[in-house]
Structure 1
Amino acid sequence: MGPNQYIRLSQLSSQIQDAINAQFKGQKYWVLADITNHSFKADKKIHYFELVEKSETGSTITAKILGKSWGGGALKILDFEITTGQRFTNNLHVLVQVSVDYHPLYGLSVNLLDIDSNFMLGILEQQRNATLARLVRENDYIWKEREEYSTFNSRLKLPVVIQRVAVISSSSSAGNEDFRHTMAHNDFGYVFQIDDYHTVVQGDNNAKLFLNKLIEVYNTGIPYDAIVIARGGGSQSDFLIFDNYGIGRAVAKFPIPIITGIGHQKNVSITDLMAHTQTKTPTKAAEFIIAHNRSFEENILSLQRTIAIKSQQLFLGHYKELNRIKTLVSNNARELTAKHREQLNAARQQLAVNSGAVLHANQKKLLVASQQTLQYPKMMLVERTGELLQLKNSLKTFSNVYLRRQELTMEHHQKSIKMMSPHNILKKGYAIVKFNDAIVSSADGINEGDDFEVILKDTRLISTVKEKIQYDGREPDL
């Protein structure tokens, strides 16, 4: 190979640079791609990254080129982050304006000149709408009513007074501190029991940790009145966890009312839509709970005032009615007293007249009765004397008959006792069996080989059981 058959690498790179500059110098292109391998040099305000294009399945990369952005391009990226709330980082699908550049030392790359914020907002909104549609489609306890969402959680009834609260937040959350401060220093002196359940509350990849914390609250079995999800401010990307399908589904079906105070001022997250009550910040969540309890207290105070007023009105009305009745009773009593006084005077005069006549008539009756009374005892005495003589004779006759009858009965009993005596029974051929010095009528406790005693009329036999045969009381077959 001769000296004129090769060139230096720098010469080749210069030719490539000239060719690329001739083709692409001054040209700008809007490119749709994904961001990977992003890094940011804060001291120089330079972004380094790769633009890649993936296949439709997303499994392979079909194109890749280095990219960088500084100066005006870096300012455009900052505007993008402020507008969308989305940090410029890996795995973003973006629409960017670039220019092509080739450097002999660093190779081919593109310079990012601008980035379309509306395109990113559209993607985020599409993802959010798709998640909401999936929640409604796959879960029968989530309904969409016009532009509002009704969930099992949102349909729960808040307790009339909220006292026991579980708070899910970051362990270093300033929002949780604001919530606790507002609850503890309320103007009405309400006292709350607040239990903390710390977890990571940012980043969609931490959704599983958040779900586990919800499950932990449920598994405690503590009857919380409400659960508060508290988080302070941050970039929009920090809140992507609250647009997660799994978290939205869990919040929607949770059996305890959930109040959100996530801290974002611009948008409403899916978790907000699925929860019972959404507020903008942890402080607003605390103010909502305090206002809820204050509403109950005001209703009680209002009811107390109403009862007092109604009682006074009833008392005044009944007091007037009692005075009226009192006056009416007094007047009627005087009229009745005067009327009855006249009736009593008339009755007294009539009584004096009638009593004289009654006394005269009864005096005659008494004279007749006194004469009859004097004669009646003599007649009764004669009758009773005759009855007593008759009773005396009857008693004497009856006693003689009764005594004779009892004598016959005694004789009969004596004969029966004599016939039933053991001595007479033994004479008839019966015997008495004794075992262990006790009379027995059954052989249940007597076994073969046992000794027993047989008592006859004039003899006692001591025997031993040789054989024990069951007997039903009938004559054996001969």
Structure 2
Amino acid sequence: MDEFHLVIRSTFDSTYWVVAEVANVSGSAQGHMYFELVEKQDQQIIAKARANLWSYKKSQIIGAFQDITQESIKSGMKLLLQLSVEFHSVYGLSFQIHDIDPAYSLGELERQRQETIKQLESEGLLDFNKQYVLNEVVRNIAVISSKTAAGYQDFINQLTNNEYGYTFDTQLFKATMQGEKAPKSIFSAIEKIDRSKKYFDAVVIIRGGGSNLDLACFDDYELNARLAQSFFPVLTGIGHERDTSITDMIAHTRLKTPTAVASFIIDRNHQFEGELENSFQFISNYSLDYIHQQQSLVQQWTDIMVSNIERKLTQAENQLKSTTFLINKGSINLIHENNINLKQQKANLRMASMRYREQQKYELKHHISKLTFACTNLQHKQLEFLAHKKQEITNTTNYTEKENNKLNYYKHLLKLSDPQSILNRGFSITRKNGKAIQDLSKLKLGDKIETQIAQGRLHSTITKKDNNNE
């Protein structure tokens, strides 16, 4: 062993820069870190080795890596490491880590991020959630967050203590909001929301305070693909001001902080209230104008009727004067008698005219009162009708939007079920004599088979068969 150790030390007597993927990393906060490094080809591991980062170097190396990349080292990450070869007679061959290049990891993380964005865009998911129509009044809210997070408490306080006195129905779906467990936890929360029988106006994802480290969960493809296809519009207030996460990109509306999301919802509801008040004011003004027009029309008819009566009285008086003049040519006595009769008739006529005018005025006032009452009832009925129709339109719109969202979701599922789409995700179809193979027992050694993948077809000969239970 000593001779082998000398050979190792003499052959590998310096450090080497190596690119490797982290398969596993462990260790304590104050102690050493232990890495399992692998090299892959076509997603298959072709090499594996252990590497150690001793505690006296860990603080400097890991601290510099996190300061520059804003990420923690975790499984699946590719690193550029400066290594030296070590051999121990008991523990065998391993590597010692002398440095980690954060610049390489930054480039690798950005490459993975861009690939995720490109995949979401090619599948039509990057802007899928933005197609949803956010209700003018947002009241029923599903919240994905941690119950103890300061951001969640700030969000609830902002909604509860709003200056307009609005009330909101919020339901918390608990989730881990950072670290390696976050994607699956948030994914599970959105599944629960979509399976819920309750209708939500929006889904709010919030994370407040804390470090910007371990935010890579919001760049996870599976998580963002699921969020994009939620039944409801997604609002984000992740609080990551320096960069925009992919979750922010796929969201219907992206805001910086939890309190900014709450303010957005409150302001949106207040805007709708203002529009509703303007509509009510318009209806009220229109009704008042209509009443004034009707009152003016009644007054015009009243004036016309009074004028006609006075005109008829004047005509009758003129006719009487003419008759008196003709009678004067005859007998004075007859004229005198006729004058007396005419005066009496004139007095009677004036009395009758006065009674008629009073009766007409009374009837006009009665008709005006009835018309005013009818106009008031008409105004109330119009307001009730408009309010009823507006509610029906709102209910119909909400139902239509929900059904459209479901229809878009089912259309996307159909697209994903397309055979070519299934092949593009890495699946294949194996055929014998043009027929798909479903039963292994129908094949024998030496048979010719054809395997179809996304890029073409492979032709093979069976040399060995293994059952699943063997």
Q: Which TM-score applies when normalising by structure 2?
A: 0.57
Structure 1: tracts of 5 or more residues without a match? 1-8, 143-148, 361-478
CA distance in structure 1 between the aligned counterparts of 2:50 and 2:130, rounded to whole angstroms: 49
C-alpha spacing 1:356/1:270, structure 2 compared with 1 (3 Å): farther
Match of 1:219 in 2: 195
2:203/2:234 contact within 8 Å kept: yes
- Identify the match of residue 60 of structure 1 among 38, 45, 49: 45
Alignment of 1:431-446 (within 5 A): none
C-alpha spacing 1:170/1:43, structure 2 compared with 1 (3 Å): same
Match of 2:216 in 1: 240
C-alpha spacing 1:107/1:211, structure 2 compared with 1 (3 Å): closer
For residue 60 of structure 1, give the secondary structure of its aligned residue in structure 2: strand
Is residue 348 from structure 1 mapped to residue 320 from structure 2 by the alignment? Answer: yes
Match of 2:127 in 1: 150
CA distance in structure 1 between the aligned counterparts of 2:327 and 2:97, rounded to whole angstroms: 137
Match of 1:138 in 2: 123
For residue 161 of structure 1, give the secondary structure of its aligned residue in structure 2: coil
Q: In the TM superposition, what is the alpha-carbon distance from 1:96 to its structure 2 partner? A: 2.0
1:233/1:264 contact within 8 Å kept: no
C-alpha spacing 1:301/1:339, structure 2 compared with 1 (3 Å): closer
- Identify the match of residue 252 of structure 1 among 228, 251, 270: 228
Match of 1:19 in 2: 10
Give the RMSD, CA atoms, in angstroms. Answer: 4.3
CA distance in structure 2 between the aligned counterparts of 1:124 and 1:73, rounded to whole angstroms: 22
2:33/2:58 contact within 8 Å kept: no
Aligned-residue sequence identity (percent) comes to 30
Q: In the TM superposition, what is the alpha-carbon distance from 1:66 to its structure 2 partner? A: 2.6
1:259/1:278 contact within 8 Å kept: yes
1:35/1:50 contact within 8 Å kept: yes
C-alpha spacing 1:30/1:14, structure 2 compared with 1 (3 Å): closer
Larger radius of gyration: 1
1:246 maps to a residue whose letter is E
For residue 159 of structure 1, give the secondary structure of its aligned residue in structure 2: coil
Q: In the TM superposition, what is the alpha-carbon distance from 1:192 to its structure 2 partner? A: 0.8
CA distance in structure 1 between the aligned counterparts of 2:200 and 2:327, rounded to whole angstroms: 91
Q: In the TM superposition, what is the alpha-carbon distance from 1:131 to its structure 2 partner? A: 2.1
C-alpha spacing 1:219/1:343, structure 2 compared with 1 (3 Å): same
Q: In the TM superposition, what is the alpha-carbon distance from 1:287 to its structure 2 partner? A: 1.9
Q: In the TM superposition, what is the alpha-carbon distance from 1:93 to its structure 2 partner? A: 0.9
For residue 260 of structure 1, give the secondary structure of its aligned residue in structure 2: strand
- Identify the match of residue 30 of structure 1 among 12, 17, 24: 17
Is residue 98 from structure 1 mapped to residue 83 from structure 2 by the alignment? Answer: yes
Q: In the TM superposition, what is the alpha-carbon distance from 1:108 to its structure 2 partner? A: 5.2
C-alpha spacing 1:209/1:67, structure 2 compared with 1 (3 Å): closer
1:254 maps to a residue whose letter is S
Match of 2:155 in 1: 179
C-alpha spacing 1:219/1:336, structure 2 compared with 1 (3 Å): same
- Identify the match of residue 35 of structure 2 among 49, 54, 71: 49
CA distance in structure 2 between the aligned counterparts of 1:228 and 1:184, rounded to whole angstroms: 16
2:10 maps to a residue whose letter is A
Alignment of 1:326-337 (within 5 A): none
2:5/2:87 contact within 8 Å kept: no
CA distance in structure 1 between the aligned counterparts of 2:247 and 2:308, rounded to whole angstroms: 83
1:150 maps to a residue whose letter is D
C-alpha spacing 1:61/1:185, structure 2 compared with 1 (3 Å): same
- Identify the match of residue 84 of structure 1 among 69, 75, 78: 69
C-alpha spacing 1:58/1:339, structure 2 compared with 1 (3 Å): closer
2:202/2:234 contact within 8 Å kept: yes
For residue 226 of structure 2, give the secondary structure of its aligned residue in structure 1: helix
For residue 179 of structure 1, give the secondary structure of its aligned residue in structure 2: helix
1:87/1:235 contact within 8 Å kept: no
2:71/2:215 contact within 8 Å kept: no
1:20/1:102 contact within 8 Å kept: no
For residue 91 of structure 1, give the secondary structure of its aligned residue in structure 2: coil
Match of 1:285 in 2: 261
Structure 2: tracts of 5 or more residues without a match? 335-470
- Identify the match of residue 272 of structure 1 among 228, 248, 253: 248
2:202/2:233 contact within 8 Å kept: yes
Is residue 297 from structure 1 mapped to residue 273 from structure 2 by the alignment? Answer: yes
2:321 maps to a residue whose letter is Q
Deviations 1:83-128 (A, max 9, x none): 2222123332111233455677876554433322232222222222
Q: Which TM-score applies when normalising by structure 1?
A: 0.56
C-alpha spacing 1:241/1:354, structure 2 compared with 1 (3 Å): farther
C-alpha spacing 1:344/1:209, structure 2 compared with 1 (3 Å): same
Match of 1:74 in 2: 59
